[in-house]
Amino acid sequence: MATAASTRSETRALDAWVALLRAHSVSTGMLSAELLAEHGLTINDYEALLHLSRAAEGKLRRVDLAGRLLLTASGITRLLDGLEAAGLVGKESCVSDRRVTYAVLTSAGRKRLAKASRSHIASVRALFEERFTNDEVAQLAELLSLLPGVGDADGEACKPS
């Protein structure tokens, strides 16, 4: 039979795991419902626009965007299909390597992101600040970031012709 100590430490890890699953499910449920109802964007739509808006010239290689959103190559194609159809993102090809395609934020995309950000950022802050002190939020972020993340190694930028 397991000792009391090993049983306790086993349940601790399991408790953390279950808490992570539940917290993610309920939080994304709330935030994505709002984002979708008020701005017609999924969380991944929003995150894609956000990453593009922070990149130089508002553009990113599709494969690098996939890495940042934790999507596969085909996942990013399908996500961008929707954003392109909505006129929020455009396509651009690379002269120095014709395999790569860029996703480029359009001005409509930048406007939509700005508008959605006002309410979305407020909701994220509310979600955390209603329940945690500033120190606790920082602590939670730091602990979570120790879990397996993903390296953000972007490929080389496209050389001008």
Residue 90's identity, in one-letter code, is G
Q: In Å, how far are 8, 27, 34, 130 from 30, measured between CA atoms?
A: 32, 5, 6, 15
Alpha-carbon distance of 14 to 86, in angstroms, equals: 42
Interacting partner of 159 out of a second copy, DNA, none (Cβ under 5 to 8 A depending on kind): none
Q: What are phi and psi of 147, to 5 degrees?
A: -65, 160
**Shorter beta-carbon distance to a second copy: residue 5 or 37:** 5
Binding residue (CB under 7 A) for DNA from 74, 133, 134, 145: 74
Looking at residue 91, what DSSP letter applies?
Answer: E
- Binds 98, which of a second copy, DNA, none (CB < 5 to 8 A, cut-off by type)? DNA
Among 35, 55, 80, 88, binds DNA (CB under 7 A): 80
Q: Is 62 in the site for DNA (CB under 7 A)?
A: yes
Interface residues toward DNA, by CB under 7 A: 33, 42, 44, 61-63, 66, 70-82, 91, 97-102, 155
